[in-house]
Structure 1
Amino acid sequence: MTTKKKDICILSATHLRGPNIWTYRPVIEAVLDIGALEEFPSNKIPGLYERLTTWLPGIIEHRCGVGERGGFLERLREGTWAGHILEHVVLELQNLAGMRTGFGQTRSTHVEGVYKMAFRTREEQVGRAALQVGRDLLMAAIEDLPFDLEAKVAELRDLVDDRCLGPSTASIVDAATDRRIPSIRLTEGNLVQLGHGAAQRRIWTAETDRTGAIAESIASDKDLTKSLLSACGVPVPEGCIVRSAAEAWEEAQDIGLPVVIKPYDGNHGRGVSLNLMTEADVIAAYELAARKGDSKSVIVERFITGDEHRVLVVGNKVVAVGKGESLWVTGDGKSNVTELVDAQINIDPRRGTTEDCPLNALDPAAGAEIILELKRQGMDANSIPLKDQRVLIQPNGNVGLDVTEQIHPDTAAAATLAARIIGLDIAGVDLVTEDISKPLSKEGGAIIEVNASPGLLAHIKPANGPGRPVGKAIIDHLFAEGETGRISIVGVAGTKGCSLISRLIGALINISGKETGVACATGLFLNKRKVTDGDCANWEAGQRLLINRSVQAAVFETNAKAILTDGLAYDKCAVGVVTDLHGHEELAPHYIDSPEQMRKIMRTQVDVILPDGVAVLNAAEEAVVDLAELCDGKVIFYGLDPLLEAIVNHRALGERVVFLRDAHIVLAEGDNEAALLPLSSLKPAKAAQPEIVLAAVAAGWALNIAPELIAAGLRSFDSSQKATY
């Protein structure tokens, strides 16, 4: 007989990418064997509570089943098992790494010592890494061994930075979620689809599918931008293009000192030098700008006195304004410039090298603009300023102060006009003025640049306030009020003819005038054309339909195994069909050992029905009928016998049912009945499977397809169609 060890063995870890038996959102489900730890709940392991709370003090915020702060710690003191503890450790590790999560559940199985543990994760690889780190940390706490938590959290944080959406994109996606608009990440980067099928929009950080390529090209051409703005009456600084340092100095004298020099095709302030007064400064600034740009062309323009501002324009509205500030350090007579920058500037928690930081950390030894500015003052990174001597590190820039409420309406109008002139739907309009609360014309201010794909983080995390809801502004720009980005989605779950039901429903939707996709076990279909042969009742095939911009409605077949291994391919549906709860015998590898457990699995199809949607349920299956109470929307029962208890009771409530009477398909709502058509009018293959036909008819009715179109679709449907490519 083998003696079990006190160990946590991760038997499997499955990423459930869609709604599942645990929750509506993606989770990782781990199957854990805790061995002899089954006999040792937390209150029987000396020092475990103290070690865990020392390493993970934030775990006090976990409410657990108690429902209040400190709830999990109460469970830990009283005694809980290793699987449940690991759930909370993994969640807290993800939080420490900068990926906020909160949902987790752990349940025992019929096998002693084996648990299923699920936890929310926003990115699969981060979640899997946190699971392994969490297991190692918990075992160290159980065995009273050292554990380098700081190093492991740093690794997880790096993984979050590499693999998760950047904060700007995340703010837009979160705003979409708040409006119940679904999203799909299309790449490992920041390209995201908002909505499904023909109703979708796409974003790439602060660019959208409304951002024109021509507009982007104009914005990157600083001279052309100024010419267009000037022609339309927008104030811009006088300037010209030069192609040599000598020409730059000559034009600077013609324009009048001081001047600004910047790359012809630069962005984000790279290679820009301000307030240049001498020939040496102009020549050095030209060389910097030529290096930073993609061409040797450089712009010399009049220096505008005032503070730099970044005006974020979304659509035709100003949604945020940031003000720049010059950065200085003050000498102490001992520290060099680099040390002073670290102590007085980089200490700002908003500064750093990751995407979470709205401001960059500065390096006086490596930043070309800083090196040039220090050189103008006769210094370099290693110079030691005198005590109390102020040294300019970076003039202007750093638009970290929110002044949105202060912008004058005339200045806001000039910024939105500038964005429209260039053709950008989202633009960062850079302007310089002494006082943003006064019109540009009165202050002698000017618009100096219009940028595509502007940075959002400085507006989300300004230095002086809670931030502006720029993500919401972008979502409201892309989706009008009332738009959800959703198409009509039908889910079909069970084992009784679900492929044929799915295809029939697709045919009914298509005949009503919508471009329709169907993903089922017999293939992937677009309208009446099979585009992929083989089993397509899976996540990947479903995603192909959801990202297809021509699809106006989609039908998805699923089953218990698919729900257990992937979750549903969509977040919500208009109609959910459940035929039966059979098939638990095939699910032993998933620790399903009784028919009663099928309810928890198959209810997933009903749980995702929208509040204005409909559940279509088989009235002949008692377990299916019992799912009706879980539906947030309406219910239509279908069955061969009009005297089935569920049908009779539902009609008595004035609700809709579909059944057979005298070999005719009948639609009934309360006491009102309408005969749709006789089975004899259908092709023999369909007439021989009336229950399948009734399910499809009920789904069509749930989608408000006219009865005459349903009848026409049934008559014309050909289930023998071959693949066409």
Structure 2
Amino acid sequence: MNVQVLQGINLENTITTIKITTDKTPRTELVDLVKDLHPVFMEEYSIEGNTISIQSKLPHFWKETAVALNNFSSNEWSFDLAKSYILGTVIKKQILSMSTIPILHAAHELGYETTQYFIEQGFTPENAASKFNRYYGIGIGQESEVTASIASSRDSHLAMMTQSDKWLTNIMLDRLKLPIAQWELINSEGHLKELHEKYRKPYVIKPVGLTGGNGVTTNINTFDQAQAAYETATKAINSRERAEFQKKIMIQQTVQGEDYRLLVIAGRLEIVTKRIPAFVTGDGAQTIEKLIAEINKDPRRDLANPTHILKPIIIDDQLTTYLKEQGLDINYVPKKDEKIYVRKVASMSQGGITEDFTDRVSNQIRYVVESLASSLHAYALGVDVICKDISKPLTQENGSIIECNTMPESYLNAFPVIGDQYPQIGKIVVKGLVGNKPFTKKIVYIGKDIKKLHAFLKTQTDASEKTGILSNGSIYINEEEINANLETWKALEAMKLNASLSTIAIHYESIDEVRESGLGFDRIDAILIDNKYESEDWTSKLEGYKNLGLINTIKTV
């Protein structure tokens, strides 16, 4: 097997082309599977001999997928094994979900390149967090920012620190005098008894750290319930390794009303979503257990598919306990059209659904959540609110902010089950991140005399700017050599990720290097061609790309 990447515009196609040569005649079922998932993965593909040529702006993805294509084509792997590797390993690690896909796709549509940020090839080692596979540079050089799903380099350390600790979130809400229900930390089981007597019933007990809704118990009225809730929270905390500050448990006055997630981007409230706890609707024949199994067959709940917009309902202790509180169990057969809630908490991670409420939110609530996001210096912030009426101000009687998150599952806001959807979420994020930043100039020189490139750059750049040049495997910044003996693609990605560069230039000594590696950029400001090549046939290809708007200037030097 061999993998060749023609980066950016190249002499074969208008976008990056990944050429995978398999050991046996290539089979296309897996390529078609990926193509049908979402347009972000590829535009088109073609086959010539044993080589599959894939046009895609995600070359890292296809380089890691190549092993599955080759092993399936060679009958070493079954279709199911190869599919599992692509969906369960490559996509899960590099993309994961519809919180990432719309952002990458929007960046490509808006003309910004995307580059995997931390990982040059392969994946993070087993002892490192998998999330670092999903960090991407949006844009290159000085125009770039970094995203991880909807979180980004524009999110302050303050925001990330606050969102991971509900205690600190509540401290900040108190400090800003924003609406929040009474709360305290529980220091011990003995302290719990004291707090139980102090708090108006019912109340909530929950971990202060991020647990995806696990360990949260609502509607607590008795001390026995409080002790059970404390144990549930402790169990959720101990389910994995956590920092010391995330091991705290808190009590909070119950806030009556519906559960909402409000998504703020760049200081502006963009989407309001009502979160509805997981439920089943009876058909008069099937048990709750079987109804849940039917619900989980919905492809929108298939976590193996990166385009899922819902999550499955899992039967666990919390679910069976809540049914027991209602005098039910999973073997109960609901009457036709009888609705049975199987979760107390309206958490999407626990199988709930969503409804759009963006046009119904009050101005006061809008100002409250925008104030919180701006004060935390969070580029993107999901704010959870419980209130009786989202169209009225938050008051002690109407509701409260509950918590916030700098890396919310934004697809749950963007693609609600009921009401309007917001596929433009990716463009909102990308434009806000990089839309007002100065563009990085992209220059390509084809010829042996690098002095011609230097002379041109001096006419295009200011002395205060930093210019990066890749030539013969070496990286230069303002003509000072930074590193040498590098593979072309590695050196080019390094320069693209270097946010200090206002201009990035690539020097190819011959057209054969271009044929081997591509021109390097999705769009090019200027291509300089040594005058000895001006009558070559391939120059007409470049003129065609210029006519398409992919190249601004072609200059013979």
Give TM class, smaller chain.
Answer: 0.7 to 0.9
Question: Would you say the 8 A contact 1:427–1:454 is kept in 2?
Answer: yes
The aligned counterpart of 2:161 is 217
Percentage of identical aligned residues: 20
Alignment partners' CA distance in 2, 1:152 and 1:165: 17
CA distance in 2, matches of 1:359, 1:371: 21
Aligned residue number for residue 369 of structure 1:
318
1:425 maps to amino acid: Y
Equivalent AA in structure 1 for residue 374 of structure 2: R
Amino acid at match of 1:411: I
1:227-306 pair list within 5 angstroms: 227-293=171-237, 294=242, 295-306=246-257
Corresponding residue pairs, total: 521
- Is the aligned partner of 1:540 residue 2:490? yes
Aligned equivalents of 1:318, 1:179: Cα separation in 2: 22
Q: What is the letter of the counterpart of residue 174 of structure 1?
A: H
Whole-angstrom distance in 2 between the partners of 1:105 and 1:16: 15
Q: Please say if residues 491 and 555 of structure 1, whose CA atoms lie closer than 8 Å, have aligned partners that are also in contact.
A: yes
TM alignment of 1:56-455, pairs within 5 A: 91-96=31-36, 100-105=41-46, 118-121=53-56, 122=58, 123-125=61-63, 127-129=65-67, 131-132=69-70, 135=73, 153-166=83-96, 167-186=98-117, 187=119, 189-293=133-237, 294=242, 295-329=246-280, 337-343=288-294, 345-354=295-304, 355-365=306-316, 368-377=317-326, 383-385=330-332, 387-388=334-335, 391-395=340-344, 396-397=346-347, 398=352, 400-441=354-395, 444-455=398-409
Distance across 1 between alignment mates of 2:53 and 2:442: 27
- 1:511/1:275 CA distance change after superposition, 3 Å: closer
Which residue number corresponds to residue 564 of structure 1? 515
Aligned AA (2:332): P
Amino acid in the other structure paired with 1:302: Q
How far apart, in 1, do the equivalents of 2:30 and 2:402 lie? 48
Aligned partner of residue 577 in structure 1, secondary structure:
strand
For residues 567 and 171 of structure 1, do their structure 2 counterparts lie closer, same or farther at Cα, with a shift above 3 Å needed?
same
Instruction: Provide the secondary structure at the position in 2 that maps to 1:350.
Output: helix
The residue type paired with residue 29 of structure 1 is K
Q: Using CA pairs below 8 Å that are at least 6 residues apart, which structure has the higher relative contact order?
A: 2
Structure 1 residue 126 displacement after superposition: 5.8
How many angstroms apart in 2 are the aligned matches of 1:596 and 1:562? 15
* TM superposition shift of 1:604: 9.0
1:252–1:301 contact (8 Å) kept in structure 2: no
- What is the CA-CA distance between 1:357 and the residue it aligns to? 2.4
| TM-score relative to the length of structure 1 | 0.64
SS in 2 for 1:394: coil
1:614 aligned residue: 553
Summarize the Cα distance change of 1:218–1:158 in structure 2 as closer, same or farther, 3 Å threshold.
closer
Residues 229 and 211 from structure 1, CA distance in 2 versus in 1: closer, same or farther, beyond 3 angstroms?
same
Give the deviation of 1:213 after TM superposition.
1.1
Contact kept in structure 2, 1:87 and 1:104, CA below 8 Å = no
Q: Is contact 1:322-1:399 (8 Å) kept?
A: no
Q: Deviations over 1:210-264 (max 9, x none)?
A: 2111222122222232233134331111111112334334313312111111112
Deviations 1:416-469 (A, max 9, x none): 122233332211110011221222238611111122211111123210245212
Q: Separation in 2 of the partners of 1:513 and 1:370?
A: 62
TM-superposed CA distance for 1:582, in Å, is 6.2
Please report how far the alpha carbon of residue 332 of structure 1 lies from its aligned counterpart in structure 2 after TM superposition.
7.6
The within-5 A match list for 1:597-608 is: 598-599=538-539
State the shift of 1:300 in Å.
Answer: 0.7
Over alpha carbons, which structure has the higher Rg?
A: 1
The separation in 1 between residues aligned to 2:402 and 2:282, in whole angstroms, is 33
Paired with 1:241 and 1:32, the residues of 2 have a C-alpha distance of 59
Find the aligned partners of 2:253 and 2:462 in 1 and give their Cα distance: 65
Cα distance in structure 1, aligned partners of 2:480 and 2:43: 44
Aligned counterparts of 1:374 and 1:205: Cα–Cα separation in 2: 35
Pick closer, same or farther for the CA change 1:473–1:518 going to 2, 3 Å: same
- Aligned equivalents of 1:607, 1:374: Cα separation in 2: 65
Task: Output one character per residue of 1:5-59: Cα deviation in whole Å (capped at 9) or x when no partner.
Answer: xxxxx8x54232332222232222256899xxxxxxxxxxxxxxxxxxxxxxxxx
Q: Is residue 459 of structure 1 aligned with residue 413 of structure 2?
A: yes
CA gap of 1:21–1:433, structure 2 versus 1, over 3 A, is: same
- CA distance 1:514–1:315, shift in 2 (3 Å): same
- TM-score, normalised by the number of residues in structure 2: 0.82
- Rounded to whole Å, the distance in 1 between the matches of 2:231 and 2:356 is 33
**Structure-1 separation of matches of 2:249 and 2:143:** 43
Cα distance, 1:390–1:259 mapped onto 2, change above 3 Å = same
Larger CA deviation: 405-414 vs 115-124: 115-124
Distance 1:173 1:95, change over 3 A: closer
Amino acid paired to 1:402 = D
Indicate conservation of the 8 Å contact 2:373/2:380, yes or no.
yes
| Aligned partner of 1:577 among 519, 528, 534 | 528
Q: Which amino acid aligns with 1:472?
A: K
**1:278 Cα deviation after fit:** 2.2
Which residue of the partner structure matches residue 24 of structure 1?
Answer: 14
